[in-house]
Amino acid sequence: MTSGLRTIVYPVKDLAAAKSLFAELLGAEPYVDQPYYVGFSAAAQEVGLDPNGHDQGMTGPVPYWHVEDIETSLMQLQTAGAEVQQSATDVGEGKLVARVTDADGNVIGLIQEP
């Protein structure tokens, strides 16, 4: 079902402060720097900062698993007991993201690349 855990997204309230902190932590400037998302690439991982994350129900960092077919993955996870928190949503250029919660309330993200 998955091709790997490659992305972690942090909900942030102060995007400029978070961007400065993560640039220092990762020793790199962001490769995406938009008002709605800042993305860093470090050690084969993407670290994202989402200034709208709290408004979308994110309460902490969310690991995103990259999958081949997001709809099939969502159905399989629901069958296994997960609850959909965010249905598959196009976040630009055909990239789809979704989030589910497990029985303990842990958030699991899914990404399907175009």
Given pLDDT bands bounded at 50, 70 and 90, which one contains residue 89? very high
> CA-CA distance, 9 to 65, in Å (whole number)?
11
Q: What is the mean pLDDT of the chain?
A: 93
Residue 25 has pLDDT above 80, yes or no: yes
Predicted confidence at residue 48, as pLDDT, reads 96
Predicted confidence at residue 44, as pLDDT, reads 85
Percent of the chain whose pLDDT exceeds 70 = 98
DSSP string spanning 41-70? EETTEEEEEETTTGGGT--S-EEEEEES-H
Domain borders along the chain are 2-112
- The domain covering 2-112 belongs, at the CATH homologous superfamily level, to 2,3-Dihydroxybiphenyl 1,2-Dioxygenase, domain 1 (3.10.180.10)
Predicted confidence at residue 59, as pLDDT, reads 87
20 backbone dihedrals φ, ψ, rounded to 5°:
-65, -45
Q: Answer whether 88's CB lies under 8 Å from 97's CB.
A: yes
Q: What angle do CA 16, 66, 48 make, to 5 degrees?
A: 5
* Distance, CA of 62 to chain centre: 6
